[in-house]
Amino acid sequence: MGRRPDFTVIVATFGDESWQRRAEMAAETASEADEVILCHHKALHLARNKGAEQARGEWLVFLDADDELTPGYFDAMSESLGDLRSPAVQYVRDGIEEPPVLLQPKPIQQGNWMVIGTAIRRNLFVRVGGFHAWELYEDWDLWWRCMRLGALNTQVPRAVYRAHMSAGSRNEPSLRTKRAMLAAIRGANGE
């Protein structure tokens, strides 16, 4: 087996600076990464793109400030193939941990089944132009643009992304907001 590729974790925050302390705590769960970058900006997509510009790793993993990576994440990602490598996700709702699951793959046009912690080759991220300005689902838009270029995605069940879900967060938008954003992103991607 060859050397393990370099992974850069980017923990981005935006707006209110109260999230910066949470970002530091999230970054602690990424200690096995080769590099961890914390970025704050007025908008989330700008913070993520700023972090990616600073990254030196071959691979980028974006981590939300209220989420975590489990031990062994990067070793598992290293053993996989693909331009995008999707982890299993473990939802934590109101402090209750659900079992980790692999989200059911389907055509990307049908919805976002890849979590933000999906590892992406840095050169692919640059080729597709990074994150675009969306109120929600900017990751779905990114994955969609990668797939349109022919990127291969593989699922990595041993890499677990722990997503904390709470009422009022970006992870729990209203159904009306979800539908509007999905329609806008589909339109932007020619569907």
Identify the CATH number of the domain in which residue 80 sits: 3.90.550.10
In 25-152, beta strands by DSSP E: 35-41, 59-64, 68-69, 84-93, 96-97, 119-121
**pTM assigned to the model:** 0.89
Q: What is the number of domains present in the chain?
A: 1
Residue 112 covered by a domain: yes
In a domain? residue 22:
yes
For the segment 9-39, what is each residue's pLDDT rounded down to a tens digit? 999 999 877 788 889 999 999 999 999 999 9
Helix (H) / strand (E) containing 30: none
Q: Tell me which residue range forms the domain holding 98.
A: 7-188
Is the residue at 2 inside a domain? no
In a domain, 76, yes or no: yes
pLDDT digits (tens, 9 = 90+) for 73-108: 999 999 998 999 999 999 998 889 999 999 888 888
Q: Is 1 domain-assigned?
A: no
Q: Tens digits of per-residue pLDDT, 110-153? A: 878 899 999 999 999 999 999 999 888 899 999 999 999 999 99
Residue 159 lies in a domain: yes
Q: What is the three-class DSSP state of 100?
A: coil
